[in-house]
Amino acid sequence: MTSPENPVEPDEVSPESEVAAEDSAAAPAGPDDTAEAEVVEDGASSKEAELTADLQRVSAEFANYRKRTARDVVDARAAGKAFVVGELLVVLDDLDRARSHGDLEAGPLKSVSDKLDGVLKALGLESFGVEGDEFDPAIHEAVQHEGDGADPVLGTVLRQGYQIDGKVIRNAMVAVKDRPADAQGESAQDET
């Protein structure tokens, strides 16, 4: 029985019941809240694993980039050195012709020639193509051939070949001939 002073309607909620409802909603409610916390932790750990994998991938890409650029710098330096030395080979050829003619026996031109030879050797320039060497078509340019080609060796060297650090920058221009018969017998005996 309701008193007329405090009529309570069934649809109305008293302020005390509102506060109690809020407290119960704010308080942890057992297994459902624990499951949500585990889902949040799993999401955080999977996000952490994803970010760690991304970081490792980016770090590996950067390390590869550094290695590639360092290798490119070394290759560019070697190519630049080979280009400059290649341009100087015509001067070296002229000095070799002067030396074979006897013009470099003494005097200031001999000094210049010796200095140029020293600088080019310091840069790693090596000549190849000496008469009697085994013919190698990869490094020798044959412009003349005498004989049947059974055992080819270098005959006359028309133009010296050069390489830097094992890379050929100019092939030797040579005349090829067959190894003399007595030299063939000696080389066959050396192999046994």
pLDDT at 10 over 70: no
pLDDT tens by residue, 28-59: 555 555 656 666 667 778 889 999 999 999 99
139 and 168 co-located in one domain? yes
Q: Could you give the number of structural domains in the chain? A: 2
Same domain, 134 and 113: no
For the ranges 27-36, 64-73, 167-176, the lowest mean pLDDT is seen at 27-36
Residue 73: band (very low, low, confident or very high) from pLDDT cuts 50, 70, 90: very high
Q: Are 72 and 49 found together in one domain? A: yes
Question: Per the domain annotation, does 174 fall within a domain?
Answer: yes
Note the pLDDT of residue 184.
54
pLDDT bracket for residue 14 (50, 70, 90): low
Sheet containing 140-146, strands listed edge to edge, beginning at the edge strand earlier in sequence: 140-146, 172-178, 152-159
Q: Same structural domain for residues 59 and 113?
A: yes
The pLDDT value given to residue 37: 60
User: Are both 114 and 131 inside the same structural domain?
Assistant: no
Single residue among 75, 100, 123 that ends a domain in this structure = 123
**Position of tokens 């506060």?**
19
Same domain? For 102 and 131 the reply is no
**What average pLDDT does this structure show over 125-134?**
90
Same domain flag for 61 and 91: yes
What is the pLDDT, as a whole number, of residue 165? 86
Is 143 within a domain? Answer: yes
| Confidence at residue 190, expressed as pLDDT on a 0 to 100 scale | 54
Higher pLDDT, 130 or 107: 130
Those residues with Cβ within 8 angstroms of residue 95's Cβ, 6 or more apart along the chain or in another chain: 104, 113, 116
pTM, two decimals, is 0.61
Residue 59 placed within a domain:
yes
110 belongs to a structural domain: yes
For all residues of the chain together, what is the average pLDDT?
Answer: 80
Residues 50 and 119 in one domain: yes
What is the domain range of residue 174?
A: 125-180
> Could you tell me the CATH number of the domain that includes residue 174?
2.30.22.10
Q: Same domain for 100 and 134?
A: no
Is 143 within 8 Å of 174 (Cβ atoms)? Answer: yes
- Asked if 109 and 56 sit in the same domain, the reply is yes
pLDDT at 11: 52
Q: Is the pLDDT of residue 64 over 70?
A: yes
Q: 33-37, 99-103, 120-124, 133-137: which range is least confident on average?
A: 33-37
Spatial contact of 151 and 136, defined as CB atoms under 8 Å apart: no
pLDDT at 164 over 70: yes
Which residue did the predictor score with more confidence, 142 or 18? Answer: 142
